[in-house]
Structure 1
């Protein structure tokens, strides 16, 4: 009878013992970047901004890891640093916070407990929020979305639809490297790209709308921030507000953002050596 009870206790405890050794919690810190209508280069490192995040991971087996987490970063760009005279003359700029929650999976190349390290690939899905702003001459933040700089939500431009949503889905993917620093601590480095489904991360996408219409519907501030090429100190060729339909951005490609950083991860649970156990005898030293 005692043997049966012992066997029953072992059977229900084994999953908890093994599972605990497969969970990790960690943090990341690094940089964030943006690619879109205000970035002439694929990535303009001149506008690199900070990024931090927290995550939890679960090892399914030696090569597959599930992951979830939250990340905060900033993205920004400015036409003044572009090489194109036309873009300098447009003189637009923006910055935006990025709050992201993500779910995904990692494909590990090696068993990290055997090799002590492994490169990996990852992919998943994320929900993120953003809010593009610009600064006036005094350094005050101007919220761009509510200005309808490209006619969003205006009855005269029904093809532009309503205001763009500040909550969007992105597809995170990339690669990283993990190093088993101790039995419980893992250090790493990761590069993650985020493909989005919005072209308004920077509040720029299509064409200019009629100046007088924008003035009547949204006021002078909207006109001022729809086109900034007439501001004092504009690089390139100072101009006047463009005609209705003149190209302002390009809707051909959606905006992207990237997170790159160092990671530190702590393994929960574990036996005397703190390492992952995948069979009954390793979970219980009997």
Structure 2
């Protein structure tokens, strides 16, 4: 909610300046490059959510740049900060007895290809008022699952190797999804978009292996305490009789991102003006040296 308020404040504050600035540029010159700022929600899917459901709703903020190569084909680079979390106490079944939880702050850098149902038009301002599109791409995710230790301190789980397994916190992802683009005026779009991220890891939540690991292989008392948290709520049977189920290694974790994004068509004059200023600066420098 806080990130959404920041986005709304930014739009309300700066949109009038962008609108007034259009008088400086010839509208008839085409524009193929868009920049965007968006916010929305992120949901994780893995061992700590009810089957068939997504986890606790968390915020995200996205900045992006998109370029149209053809009337119906574009590509977009985007950087997204977001969070997701899971908590066994919210489970509908006996996973509550496992007593695990985590929160992760993440950064995703991705490049996607976009196919549009409606073409841009001969000129950017002639585009359709409404467009439906699909996207597929590749990205890198930096995640960092943390939990609250028994003493109340928040600690990162990956360095502790709570399952006796070392894993990388940088993982490839495949974004895939659908969106709707609404033309606000000649220079602005609103995007409403949702996309799932296929991952190649089962450790977004620091939980994967089926059985609890032998405490003897873990590196510290803290790792042992966070590996099996059933004793904290009295749900751990004697180990000789029961080992217990910790995770599901047969299915990777994933997450879903939903956004509302404001897009702006950048005028080509911005780049021409920058190049001209650079050229003039170089000329002044060399003339001064002579």
Task: Establish whether TM, by shorter chain, passes 0.5.
Answer: yes
Distance 1:28 1:225 in 2: 36
Distance 1:39 1:168 in 2: 21
Matches within 5 A, 1:29-48: 29-45=39-55, 47-48=56-57
Please say if residues 57 and 67 of structure 1, whose CA atoms lie closer than 8 Å, have aligned partners that are also in contact. yes
Residue by residue over 1:57-106, the C-alpha shift from the partner in whole angstroms, topping out at 9 and shown as x without a partner, is: 00112211110010000010000100112x11111111111101000111
Distance 1:122-1:260 versus aligned 2 partners, 3 A rule: same
Of 52, 69, 86 in structure 2, the residue corresponding to residue 60 of structure 1 is: 69
Matches within 5 A, 1:38-117: 38-45=48-55, 47-85=56-94, 87-112=95-120, 113-117=126-130
Distance 2:73 2:146 in 1: 40
Matches within 5 A, 1:119-268: 119-137=132-150, 139-152=152-165, 163-206=166-209, 207-214=211-218, 218-231=219-232, 234=233, 238-240=235-237, 242=239, 246-268=244-266
Deviation at 1:38, TM superposition (A): 1.1
Please say if residues 149 and 225 of structure 1, whose CA atoms lie closer than 8 Å, have aligned partners that are also in contact. yes
Distance 1:35 1:193 in 2: 10
Please say if residues 34 and 43 of structure 1, whose CA atoms lie closer than 8 Å, have aligned partners that are also in contact. no
**Structure 2: tracts of 5 or more residues without a match:** 1-26, 121-125, 270-290
Please say if residues 149 and 226 of structure 2, whose CA atoms lie closer than 8 Å, have aligned partners that are also in contact. no
Root-mean-square deviation (Å)? 2.2
**Structure 1: tracts of 5 or more residues without a match:** 1-16, 153-162, 272-286
Distance 1:223-1:184 versus aligned 2 partners, 3 A rule: same
Distance 1:111 1:132 in 2: 42
Distance 2:231 2:85 in 1: 21
